[in-house]
Amino acid sequence: MTAPRLVLSAAACALLLAACSRPAAGPPAPRPAPWIVIGVDGGELSVIETLWARGELPNLRRLADAGLHTRLATDYGASPVIWTTIATGMPPGRHGITDFVVPTDAGDVPVSSAARKVPALWSMLSRAHRRVAVLGWWASWPAEPVDGLVLTDRLAQELPQRIHPPERQAELEAAHAEARESGIPFGGNDASQLQDRLVTRFAVEAVQGDYALVLPYYRSLDLASHQSWRLYEPAAFGDPVPARPGDDPVSAAYRAVDQAVGEILAAAPPEANVLVISDHGFRATHGEEVQLLLDLDRVLEAAGLLVRAGEEVDLERSRAFAYRSPDYRAIKFVRFAPEGSDPEPAALERARRELDRSLARATFEGGAPAFRVRLPDEREAGRGAHAVVVADKRAATPTLYFDGAPVRHAIRHLGRISGSHDSHTKGILFAAGPAIQPGAVLPEVTIHDIAPTLLFALGLPVAEDFPGHVRDELFRPEFAASRPRRTIASWGEQLGAETPRSAADRTLLDELAALGYLN
Ligand SMILES: [Zn+2]
């Protein structure tokens, strides 16, 4: 008996074909229990404890109760340096990010991923075909191709290469428009708030995806702490304590971060393990620090000493111009002739006296003299200065006058910094989740231990050339026992690239200067 020959309809055939091609419908592959590492720039434990005492910050409280919290020893001072050490396990001498800027012949350029010389966690996981999402992390622009998602730290700027995969650009732009209008009130400044809102939006999505590691980074709290610490800790500045403490931008920034942590936790699967870390803590500055961005060429122009050709300074026709002196430096170099030609000593002396007489007519509001002119010292003369002009930051006002008339665009920014940090202001480490040992104590845990500890947790090899260590104490013994102890000599180096310039460089430099990061 011949098998009945099935005569199937086209549709039935198609179905059958599909059924044949679809792998056997076994149970879906288990989604990896994501590790979520939330970076909060400038998170200071004493502020958290103060707000906890007022019954605030419920999500950080929940994490601490379910797991552990402690202080994280820090180093290196500058945030991009510390966050790169956290992400690479390496010190700056190896990873290559040594400051907020990269000096070039044409002036400082904001630091970028091109300057990093070793793989970061997101490159290591990609090599191991483990999906990773890194969101807003310092020095991550231009976006690197990873097995997953990169949202760079220049999210708020209209720039190319802000996101990987590039196919998600349109989505980013749509989210951008939305985040401009509404979202968590993170504070800091418009750019940082926009960035933190976008990070939250993509983090909430990412923790529901198939990423082994999700790294959202928050920056507004750091800005708010630099700018408004005096309002948070008025006593440190001899100010009266307000009737309703907690009504200040620093406390508000902590509430916002706590809300964001809550939204991420709510979206994350119960099997997720969560860390909240900061690169450093905060303290009051010793007296407020004035941050002044002053464009001296505008004043020399008002004095008739400087001539422009369009927007550019006409060096041939100008009798004086600022030289190699970014606006954020109160000490400005001045030349009386273009590079390569120095006036005769007598002419130099005459030019200095003219400069001195001219700048004596420049004042701040109320008539306070704005500048002091002096001779350059040997080092300054060696760097090309014919004279040195010192702006009096303490007397600075939002408008500068020449012969009583305001000089437009001379003062580009005037602000006061009252919060700061150094290698003694420790950061925070919170951890909770099925793999975390509740109440564990981690003596002297440092920023160098984060990468090795995470790689171990993710079952990836730990490099022997890491200065830091796997902190076993963090894990439940059964979890630690379930992980293979894999090591490799090193994760190696990666070729740094030419420092990329971007249309946002000046805005970024101004922002860094306004925060007192550049000097
Ligand atoms: Zn920082």
- Please, are residues 59 and 481 in contact by the beta-carbon 8 Å criterion? no
For residue 283, give the 3-state DSSP assignment.
strand
State the distance from the centre of ligand 1 to the C-alpha of 322, rounded, in angstroms: 32
What is the rounded distance in angstroms from the CA atom of residue 340 to the CA atom of residue 308? 20
State the distance from the centre of ligand 1 to the C-alpha of 393, rounded, in angstroms: 25
The residues, any chain, with a CB within 8 Å of residue 259's CB and separated by 6 or more, are: 59, 184
Q: Which residues have beta carbons under 5 A from ligand 1 (an ion)?
A: 41-42, 79, 222, 279
Considering the segment(s) 35-239+268-284+418-442+449-514 as one domain, its CATH architecture is: 3-Layer(aba) Sandwich (3.40)
Neighbour count for residue 489 (Cβ, 10 Å)? 9
What is the rounded distance in angstroms from the CA atom of residue 353 to the CA atom of residue 348? 9
Domain with CATH 3.40.720.10 in the chain: 35-239+268-284+418-442+449-514
State the distance from the centre of ligand 1 to the C-alpha of 163, rounded, in angstroms: 23
Joined together, the tokens standing for residue 394 give: 């303490």
State the distance from the centre of ligand 1 to the C-alpha of 165, rounded, in angstroms: 27
State the distance from the centre of ligand 1 to the C-alpha of 45, rounded, in angstroms: 14
State the distance from the centre of ligand 1 to the C-alpha of 189, rounded, in angstroms: 15
108, β-bridge pairs: 103
State the distance from the centre of ligand 1 to the C-alpha of 421, rounded, in angstroms: 8
State the distance from the centre of ligand 1 to the C-alpha of 222, rounded, in angstroms: 6
Query: What value, to the nearest 5°, has the Cα angle with vertex 159 and ends 155 and 162?
Result: 45
State the distance from the centre of ligand 1 to the C-alpha of 358, rounded, in angstroms: 41
- Please, are residues 276 and 40 in contact by the beta-carbon 8 Å criterion? yes
Per-residue pLDDT of the chain (519 residues; tens, 9 = 90+): 444 444 444 554 454 444 444 445 556 556 678 999 999 999 999 999 999 999 999 999 999 999 999 999 999 999 999 999 999 999 999 999 999 999 888 889 999 999 999 999 999 999 999 999 999 999 999 999 999 999 999 999 999 999 999 999 999 999 999 999 999 999 999 999 999 999 999 999 999 999 999 999 999 999 999 999 999 999 999 999 888 889 999 999 999 999 999 999 999 999 999 999 999 999 999 999 999 999 999 999 999 999 999 989 999 999 999 998 888 888 999 999 999 999 999 999 999 999 999 999 999 999 999 999 999 999 999 999 999 999 999 999 999 999 999 999 999 999 999 999 999 999 999 999 999 999 999 999 999 999 999 999 999 999 999 999 999 999 999 999 999 899 999 999 987 788 899 999 999 999 999 888 887
Neighbour count for residue 286 (Cβ, 10 Å)? 9
pLDDT per position as a tens digit, 459-484 = 999 999 999 999 999 999 999 999 98
Dihedral Cα 159, 163, 166, 169, nearest 10 deg: -70
What is the rounded distance in angstroms from the CA atom of residue 401 to the CA atom of residue 412? 14
- Please, are residues 338 and 323 in contact by the beta-carbon 8 Å criterion? no
